Amino acid sequence: MPLLLNAQTSVKGIVTEQNSGNKPIPGVQLKALGTTPELTDNAGLFQLLFTAKKPGDRIIVSEISKKGYEVVNKDVVNNWIITDNINDKTKIVMCPEGLIAQNTLKYYDISLSGLTKGYESRIKSLQEQKDKAEIDAKTYAEQAKALAEQFDNQQKQLEELSEKFARENFDDCSAIHKQAFDAFKNGNIEEAIRILESVNSEIEIAKAKKQQNKAENIISEGKEMLAQSEEIIRQNISKLMFQADLYVTSFRFPEAEQCYEAAVKADTTYFEGVFAFAKYFYENVKLEKSIIWHKKALALVTNDFNKSDVFYNLGVLMKNMQQFDSAETNFNKSIQIRRKLAESDPNVYNPLLANSLSGIADCQYVKGNFDESEMSLTEALNIYRRLDIIDPDVKDEIARLLSSLVDLMYKSDQLDKAKQYLTEAEKLYSELVSINYIEKKSHFAWVPCWALAGIQTKLGKLKEAEVNYNTSLNLFRKLAEKNPLLYNYKIATVLYELAGIQLLMKQLDKAEINALESVEMHKQIIRSQPWADINLVQSMIILYQIQCYERQFDKSEENFKEVINILKEHDKINPHESDYEIANIYSNFSAINYEMYQYEKGEKYSEEAINMYIVLAQSKPVYKYRLAECYSSSSFYEVQSKNFELAETMARKSLETDSTYIWGNSNLALAMLFNGKYEKAKNIYMSLKDKTIPGEKTKKFREAFLEDIEEMEKAGVTHPDVSKIKVLLK
């Protein structure tokens, strides 16, 4: 027995209640791999004995539980390493069950309010500078866009930041830190910042370091002085990190950066501080700096859990910088580590592994490696399928992965699979809507019924999509009462998506009302968020389509020209960025005019589109397909306008541009048929009629050819040879 005891490794600890003055929690059950279950005593203390572990090994926890409580500092538990100091005590913090979720929502609202107020103040200041001619319009637009990106990125991080606040334990913090957090909890961020600013942490850290150096030279009194100075440094680093977070929620990024930098300088070996600084740069779109600090964090990593996080973040950074090979390398490193970790603790690490797989799938998709991308996404999907699918968060994640697979299946022409994934995603989102998951997630601006509406639109279930768009619209209107800056933008987006499906359903009156409201809202929004002009463009495209179909041609053309002007103004800041969008809009408006028998205008705008596509295709061959498509479309409409020679010329140009664009042959045959070139038309029709249309399961070209001929006859375009071709095709 003595020999056995000597071989054991002892790990001591204490369980306390969050923000209670270190009140111990007795009767907490702890279970870990390689040791017997343990209950905390009346002082909250516990001791785990391991026979097969040594210092440096990780403790794999299977359970820490007490009825009515949940673990607060999960990062400590998930990253629990045995130290070589037998007197070390691991502190586990718990709180009443549900309190973290409750406080996360509360702190989210407080943080969002502060962030919005800070953003509006900065935009107002920028507008004043422009009005006083201190900056020109271009500088204003560039700086406003940068501020908008900061606001958008930071708003996306608020849920994570709010949960971080909810998991803060102030029992070991300085008095000033606690006092500031009390002000924050009451919604007074400015007062919290004032309290934190009243203490200069850099001076306090400098004093403590001086004392620390002095302590190292005094052997008898040194230990106490050393411990005291280390505690002061630790508390001030913690206070600086909290101060930085509050600056961020107030849109005061330079001050936040100073605090992070001071915290990192205070202890250059402090991984959490360096990692937080790296993430701060990412959230504020300073990607090069973020990469530098992530690499510094990597040099400080002492465990695989944090290492996998750093590699994952580097993957995300490289992907956003379009350095897809480097991104893939880092995602791969993250995947390798997380696979290994998941072997010992699948519940904790498998979801993280799925995130890495989803990230690498994006890179593989962009690089055109569709098979690899599908394998990565499918593995991520299967990981989530093995989890408890009753959990709404798991359903939500599965639905998102299914949506990614849908896009991939469409791209790789696997339409049956795409529909299968769409149907499953629709079912999951329907379930989330039915259990009021919408109410939970609405606080964080994620609404399942909005996603469901988009999926139902792709499935052609337009009536159901209309219902779900209206549901999400009503929710956003309610949320906009509290925060118009954030939610008016979402309302405007939902409105033009709703108008789009109402246009498809020929509900023109409803569609016009929603499109007009979307346009007006976007015009209001771009006064404070200039980047929203692209969404204004989308709204106006829907609007001019509706007005065309209502035969309000003057109004439609007026809106069309405004769209083009907006994009051309956009190009003054970012030259040629909108060229492809402008070409598409010319092509779109051309087709609408042709369909409304406005042939002269259709021809005019088609020519504009073709000229732009020609230039685009010279620098990027990928646009040749779009140019061929535009030639072919013009050919079809020129047949409809009885301009057969031009129609034939356009079809031939389509084939010269891209010989793989099969509809060029179709429209060439159509042009020649109505132009009296029966034998030549017949040869094309006969060579294609029994082939299946790409992307269609059973539909043959003969059906499409007959539909085109029927459409021409409805438009009054006829020829004696048509009846002979019809017989052959039927």
Residue pLDDT, tens place only, 451-480? 888 888 888 899 999 998 998 898 888 888
Give residue 2's pLDDT: 37
Among the ranges given (38-42, 251-255, 276-280, 441-445), the one the predictor scored with the smallest mean pLDDT: 441-445
CB contact at 8 A, 337 and 307: yes
Query: What pLDDT does residue 4 have?
Result: 36
Closest to 502 measured CA to CA, from 488, 487, 486, 513: 513
What are the structural domains of the chain? 2-97 (2.60.40.1120), 621-730 (1.25.40)
**pLDDT above 70 (res 229):** yes
pLDDT for 441 beyond 80: no
CB contact at 8 A, 250 and 115:
yes
Task: Quickly list DSSP for 282-302.
Answer: HHTT-HHHHHHHHHHHHHH--
Angle at 431 between CA 427 and CA 437, to 5 degrees: 140
The pLDDT of 671-698, averaged and rounded, is 87
pLDDT for 393 equals 81
* Residue 65, pLDDT score: 92
Per-residue confidence band for 61, with pLDDT thresholds at 50, 70 and 90: confident
Q: Which region among 348-352, 529-533, 657-661 has the lowest average model confidence (pLDDT)?
A: 529-533
- How many of the other CB atoms lie within 10 Å of CB of 277? 26
CA–CA gap between residue 655 and residue 628 (Å, rounded): 7
Tell me whether strands 69-71 and 61-65 are parallel, antiparallel or unpaired: unpaired
Query: Tokens 């149907």 map to which residue?
Result: 423
Q: Please, which contacts does 436-443 make with residues 24 or more away whose CB atoms are closer than 8 Å?
A: 437/392, 437/395, 437/396, 438/471, 438/475, 440/392, 441/396, 442/475, 442/479, 443/105, 443/108, 443/109
In the predicted structure, residue 622 carries a pLDDT above the cut 80: no
- Distance between CA atoms of residues 617 and 656, nearest Å: 13
pLDDT, position 345: 81
Which residue(s) pair with 12 in the sheet? 47, 89
Contact 705/729 with Cβ under 8 angstroms? Answer: yes
Q: Residue 127 and residue 695: Cα distance in Å, rounded?
A: 51
pLDDT at 152: 77
Considering 146-150, 411-415, 701-705, the range whose residues carry the highest mean pLDDT is 701-705
Structure tokens at 430: 């329907």
CA dist 716 and 704 (Å) reads 19
Q: What does the mean pLDDT of the chain come to? A: 86
What's the pLDDT at 467?
92
Q: Is-contact 399 358, C-beta < 8 A?
A: no
Half-sphere exposure of 368 (CA within 13 A, CB side): 1
What sign does the dihedral 67-73-74-80 (CA atoms) show?
negative
DSSP state of 693: P
CB 237 within 8 A of CB 263: yes
Whether residue 561 is predicted with pLDDT greater than 80 in this model: the reply is yes
User: Is a pLDDT exceeding 80 seen at residue 608?
Assistant: yes
Give me the half-sphere count of Cα atoms (radius 13 Å) on the Cβ side of residue 580.
12
Quote the pLDDT of residue 413: 72
For the stretch 459-462, contacts whose Cβ atoms lie closer than 8 Å and that sit 24 or more positions apart, written own/partner, are 459/419, 459/422, 459/423, 459/426, 461/426, 462/501, 462/504, 462/505
Q: 285-321 burial string, b = 16+ CB within 10 Å, else e? A: ebbebbbebbebbbebbebbbbbbbbbbbbbbbbbee
* 8 A C-beta contact, residue 101 and residue 107: no
Nearest to 229 by CA among 204, 251, 195, 248: 204
d(C-alpha 617, C-alpha 613), whole Å? 6
Helices 219-249, 271-283: crossing angle, 10 deg rounding: 10
Q: pLDDT-derived band of residue 532, with 50, 70 and 90 as boundaries?
A: low
Q: Average pLDDT of 187-196?
A: 89
The label of the residue with tokens 């950074």 reads 317
What is the Cα–Cα distance from 651 to 655, expressed in whole angstroms? Answer: 7
More confident residue, 576 or 11: 11
Among residues 343, 279, 272, 347, the alpha carbon closest in space to that of 312 is found at 279
Between 110-124, 366-380, 441-455, the lowest mean confidence (pLDDT) is in 441-455
Burial code of 500-509, b = ≥16 C-beta within 10 A, e = fewer? bbbbeeebbe
- The encoded tokens of residue 395 equal 């359903």
Q: Give Cβ neighbours of residue 220 (< 8 Å, ≥ 6 apart).
A: none
Whether the CB-CB separation of 59 and 32 falls below 8 Å is answered with yes
- Note whether 455 and 429 are within 8 A (CB): yes
Is 443 a residue whose pLDDT tops 60?
no
Taking 50 as the threshold, does the pLDDT of residue 568 lie above it? Answer: yes
Query: Which 3 state secondary structure label does DSSP give 303?
Result: coil
Of the pLDDT bands very low, low, confident and very high (cuts 50, 70, 90), residue 3 is very low
Q: What is the pLDDT at residue 573? A: 66
How far apart (Å, rounded) are the C-alpha atoms in residues 260 and 266? 10
Q: What is the pLDDT of residue 534?
A: 67
Name the phi and psi angles at 537, rounded to 5.
Answer: -60, -45
13: β partners: 46, 90
Instruction: Look at residues 403, 362, 355 and name the one whose alpha carbon lies nearest to residue 379.
Output: 355
Q: Is the pLDDT score of 438 beyond 80? A: no
The percentage of the chain sitting over the pLDDT mark of 90, rounded to a whole number, equals 32
Identity of the residue numbered 100: I
User: In this predicted structure, what is the pLDDT of residue 220?
Assistant: 55
Under 8 Å between Cβ of 631 and 617: no
DSSP letters, 341-409, are HHHH-HHHHHHHHHHHHHHHHHHHHHTT-HHHHHHHHHHHHHHHHTS-TTSHHHHHHHHHHHHHHHHHH
Write a three-state SS string for 187-242. Answer: CCHHHHHHHHHCCCHHHHHHHHHHHHHHHHCCHHHHHHHHHHHHHHHHHHHHHHHH
Torsion sign over Cα 376, 377, 378, 384: positive
| Average pLDDT rounded to a whole number, residues 607-635 | 88
144/283 Cα distance (integer angstroms): 17
With bands split at pLDDT 50, 70 and 90, how would you rate the model's confidence at 296?
Answer: very high
CA atoms within 13 A on the CB side of 666: 26
pLDDT at 76 over 90: no
Tell me if residue 327 falls in helix, strand or coil: helix
Chain centre to alpha carbon of residue 81? 33
State residue 85 phi and psi, 5-degree precision: -100, 110
Who wins on pLDDT, 704 or 392? 704
The confidence score (pLDDT) of residue 539 equals 82
Looking at residue 36, its pLDDT comes to 87
The secondary structure of residue 698, as a DSSP letter, is: S
pLDDT of residue 729: 87
Task: State yes or no: pLDDT of 10 exceeds 50.
Answer: yes
Specify the amino acid at residue 125: S
Strand, coil or helix: what is 15? strand
Partnered with residue 94 across adjacent β-strands are 17, 71
DSSP 422: H
Contacts for 334-342 with beta carbons within 8 Å, 24 or more apart? 334/308, 334/309, 334/359, 335/360, 337/304, 337/307, 337/308, 337/311, 338/308, 340/304, 341/304, 341/305, 341/308
Distance, CA of 609 to CA of 600 (rounded, Å):
15
- Mean pLDDT across the stretch 544-564? 84
| pLDDT-derived band at 104, boundaries 50, 70, 90 | confident
pLDDT value, residue 150: 82
Tell me the two tokens of residue 406: 């849908």
Whether 37 shows a pLDDT value over 90: the answer reads no
Residues 330-372 pLDDT 10s: 999 999 999 998 888 888 889 999 999 999 999 998 888 889 9
